Amino acid sequence: MAGKPKLYYFNGRGRMETIRWMLAGAGVEVSCLLQELESSNQVPMVEIDGMKLVQTRAILNYIAGKHNLYGKDLKERALIDMYVEGTMDLNELLMHYPFHKPEEKEKQLAVIVEKATTRYFPVYEKALKDHGQDFLVGNKFSRADIQVLETILMAEELKSDILSKFPLLKAFKGRISNIPTIKKFLQPGSQRKPLLDEKTVAEIKKLFDIDQ
Ligand SMILES: N[C@@H](CCC(=O)N[C@@H](CS)C(=O)NCC(=O)O)C(=O)O
């Protein structure tokens, strides 16, 4: 039997966090290897099924395909990709937020809130309204549900009422958070990482030579 996937990354969210979410949603346990991470490594890197995979999307696609989280046919996959790519655009802004200078943060938060509430969340709200189902695509739990929930929770950390104009998305958040694998991941002690603190931000900036 193949062992647990090994995750190579720093001890924080970054691009690995969505991979952690995906594996958790699929009910897969992981090992995390932090000590082997150097700035010359391409990360995130995941050792899985005899492969050492880099590139976040390639890793996510593999895990989602392997665990039946990627739709039943090409059309469902296209919809899932569409929702996932949107949420990854927003996630990218949220991920970078802790790295902004204190004096830039207010402006950056306004950009995030504006984009979330006018560009991205309305698409999910409309999809849920139009088909009236519990999940975003194909009436079945998929990676789109996992990734949209991850992004919603990150956005709420910065603005707790960000879903106030999105009642269906709010109900969706409650439903997906209650799926047993996700519920477990949301509890303390899981591999889920907290919002980056200043000390970790400084360490990451140093590791990757980021001057922001
Ligand atoms: N396209 C790659 C981007 C990987 C990436 O940018 N990784 C960051 C850490 S999360 C990094 O290595 N930054 C430092 C650098 O690019 O030199 C992916 O999605 O995995």
pLDDT in tens, 86-106: 999 999 999 999 999 999 999
**What DSSP designation does 52 have?**
E
The Cα–Cα gap between 134 and 141 comes to 9
Mean pLDDT rounded to a whole number for the chain: 94
Atom nearest to 14 CA in ligand 1 = 10
pLDDT in tens, 53-72: 999 999 999 999 999 999 99
Output the pTM of the full model: 0.95
The Cα–Cα gap between 179 and 158 comes to 24
**84, 127 in Cβ contact below 8 A?**
no
pLDDT for 175 equals 98
The Cα–Cα gap between 190 and 35 comes to 19
How far, rounded to the nearest angstrom, does the alpha carbon of residue 100 sit from its chain's CA centroid? 20
- Ligand 1 midpoint to CA 184 (Å): 28
Q: Which of 13, 15, 20, 210 to mutate to test the pocket of ligand 1 (most atoms within 8 A of CB)?
A: 15
